């Protein structure tokens, strides 16, 4: 079978996924003993609960670069990709055809201003890990994979 025909057939039967990047941002002040372990969460108009900074990757964008970009776009927090760590597992497949690549980072919450645009993100806030607000279903799933939140495994 000619190569163009094989490619066309493969594209027709292969599952298609959207690939996103998620950042689990922790408060580094807590690591130094200054308060409880906290996570940065976002309240967005299209979600049914609080979520993590996340978004779809641009064409040919490296996942870690996309995670840093989305974090900055949604919160105003700039973290260099070299200062992010890939989660293990790094990719989580959702039943709706989305694959999330997950990265961890930390910044001092006490000195890091949060800037949201009010359209895509209504509010950003730090929450203690042992007292999280109502989470969106995907956020609870993602955090649960890493032993965080109500769905911790």
Tell me the CATH number at 45.
3.90.79.10
151 in any annotated domain: no
153 in any annotated domain: no
Determine the pLDDT at residue 32.
65
Nearest to 66 by CA among 52, 55, 74: 55
Measure the CA–CA gap between 65 and 69, rounded to whole angstroms. Answer: 6
Q: Indicate if the pLDDT at residue 10 is higher than 80.
A: no
Nearest to 103 by CA among 88, 124, 125, 121: 88
Coil, helix or strand at residue 64: helix
Containing structural domain, residue 93:
21-145
Structural domains in the chain (count): 1
Cross-strand partners of 105: 25
6 in any annotated domain: no
41 in any annotated domain: yes
Q: Indicate if the pLDDT at residue 78 is higher than 80.
A: yes
Structure tokens, 104: 């961890």
User: Is this model's pTM higher than 0.75 or not?
Assistant: yes
137 in any annotated domain: yes
152 in any annotated domain: no
5 in any annotated domain: no
13 in any annotated domain: no
Residue 121's pLDDT band, with cuts at 50, 70 and 90, is very high
């Amino acid at each position: 079978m000619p190569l163009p025909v094989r490619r066309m057939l493969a594209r027709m039967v292969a599952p298609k996924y959207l690939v996103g990047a998620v950042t689990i941002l922790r408060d580094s002040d807590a690591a130094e003993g200054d308060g409880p372990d906290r996570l940065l969460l976002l309240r967005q108009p299209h979600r049914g609960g609080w979520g993590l900074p996340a978004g779809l990757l641009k064409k040919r964008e490296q996942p870690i670069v996309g995670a840093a970009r989305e974090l900055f776009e949604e919160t105003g927090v700039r973290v260099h990709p070299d200062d992010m760590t890939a989660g293990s597992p790094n990719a989580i497949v959702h039943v709706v055809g989305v694959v999330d690549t997950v990265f961890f980072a930390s910044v001092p919450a006490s000195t890091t201003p949060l800037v949201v645009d009010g359209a895509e993100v209504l509010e950003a806030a730090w929450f203690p890990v042992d007292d999280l607000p109502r989470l969106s279903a995907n956020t609870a799933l993602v955090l649960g994979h890493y032993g965080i939140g109500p769905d911790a495994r």
